[in-house]
Structure formats: structure tokens, C-alpha cells
Amino acid sequence: MASSATSLELQTRIEDVLAYLPISSTTEFKKGQTIYTPEQPAKRIYLVVSGKVEISQITGKGKEVLLEIIRPDELFGESAFLDLPRRCEQATAFEKASVMAWPVSDMEDLVMKRPRLAVALMQLLVRRNAESTRRIESFSTESIERRLAGALIRFSERLGTTEKDGTLKMMPFTHVMLSRYVGTSREVVTHHMNRFRERGYVTYSRQGILLYPQAMSALIN
């Protein structure tokens, strides 16, 4: 019960952020087009209007780790608030996407004029930091199988739709993308996805993924 209340509270907070932002012009990005990179870091705060954007981190060895997929009505680019000589974050259009953007200087002015916007932004950042901390812990404490199962459940909850039989349907995710999220190779992800399918946890094709939430949840609980 507590988790449901927390989820509702967080949704309300995100809506508060949007309520205090002025309308901005939109920019279109094609699938796979980068929005910002470590070499050309974010200087704006962005809002996804339509489509989806993936946020990743580029490690010192050049490896790309998927952090999150941002949905419509969600913000990203908060790393623009950090005055660092180099940042590791990259944003890429996961699919054709339309976004609004506000320069950091404008956001700073808005925060001064609208204190509740500052509070709402802080709450959003705390939530994302908590999720990042949980993921870091999972890399050191959980098996790849559990991390992959948790990733599928999370993506299905954020990006999927519930079918009449209770299964969760979501877009097709490549095994390369899933490997970037759980921190392993494509071959290892393919191995575990095949096992999940054999056990009746998921079915998948190029058209999408069907996840059986009760069976999958039993694996990680």
C-alpha cells in the first residue's frame, strides 16, 4: 500500500514541475539522432512532448550504459545544472521525438521567481538519484538473470500496456539495448531471454514483448 501511495505522490510532483514551466517551441529529432553528448553537453532542460528519448552514460573506456528511457511529459537534461568541465551523459532519440527546451539561465530565473518549481525539481532529482543508487547496488549484489528480469518488469511498467489476459505488452527491445541496461553482453542477454521464454515468463518477436508479470515477479522476489 505504501508503494502505491509513494508512486502517486511522485506522479503529482512531476505534474507540479510541468505546471510551472512556460510553453516553449518544439524541436523534432529523428530516431537515433543525438540531442547532446559528453563533447557537446546539455545546456538546456528538456521536456519530451512526443516519442521517447534514451539517456545513457559514456564510461571512461567509451562503453555506453543505458540509464533511462524518458517518456512524454518527462524532463531530462538536468546535468546542465552542473558546472563541470566534462560530463558523461548522452541523450539520443529512442524513436522520432519532439521536445521542448529551456536554457539553464532561463530555468534559474524561473526558480527564483517560482520557489515551488525549485521544490518540485529537487524532488524529481531526488527520485532519479534514488533510482540510480538502486541500480548501482544491483550491479554488485544481483545476478545478471535478476537484473534482466527487473529491467523487463520496469520497462513494462513504464512503457507497456496491460492486455485483457493480464500480460504486459511493450515495444520490441533489442538484446543489445537490454545488454547496455543490465551491464553485460548481447550474447548473455540472448541466453537469458531464451530461458525466460522457455519458462513461460515472456514471449517476444520483432513486433514486441509480452511479459507475464506474476511469473516474472516470482523470479526476483
**Which tens digits make up the pLDDT trace of 7-23?**
434 444 454 778 888 88
The CATH number covering residue 43 comes to: 2.60.120.10
Do 123 and 55 touch, CB atoms closer than 8 A? no
Q: pLDDT above 90 covers what percent of the chain?
A: 60
Do 202 and 160 touch, CB atoms closer than 8 A? no
My answer on whether 98 and 185 are in the same domain is no
My answer on whether 113 and 42 are in the same domain is yes
Rounded average pLDDT over 42-58: 95
Higher-confidence position of 220 and 3:
220
Q: What is the pTM of this model?
A: 0.85
The CATH number covering residue 156 comes to: 1.10.10.10
C-alpha to C-alpha distances, 204 to 14, 150, 152, 181, 207, nearest whole angstrom: 32, 17, 12, 18, 8
- The mean pLDDT value of the chain amounts to 88
What range does the domain containing 97 cover?
2-139
My answer on whether 116 and 92 are in the same domain is yes
My answer on whether 148 and 127 are in the same domain is no
My answer on whether 61 and 159 are in the same domain is no
**Domain end point (choices 99, 121, 139):** 139
My answer on whether 163 and 195 are in the same domain is yes
Query: Which of 136, 126, 11, 6 lies closest to 67 in space, CA to CA?
Result: 136
Q: Residue 153 corresponds to which cell in the numbers above?
A: 518488469
My answer on whether 96 and 110 are in the same domain is yes
Q: Is the pLDDT reported for residue 54 higher than 50?
A: yes
My answer on whether 151 and 131 are in the same domain is no
Confidence at residue 75, expressed as pLDDT on a 0 to 100 scale: 93
No. of helices (H) and no. of strands (E), the chain: 7, 12
pLDDT tens digits for 116-153? 888 888 888 888 888 888 888 888 899 999 999 999 99
Rounded average pLDDT over 162-181: 93
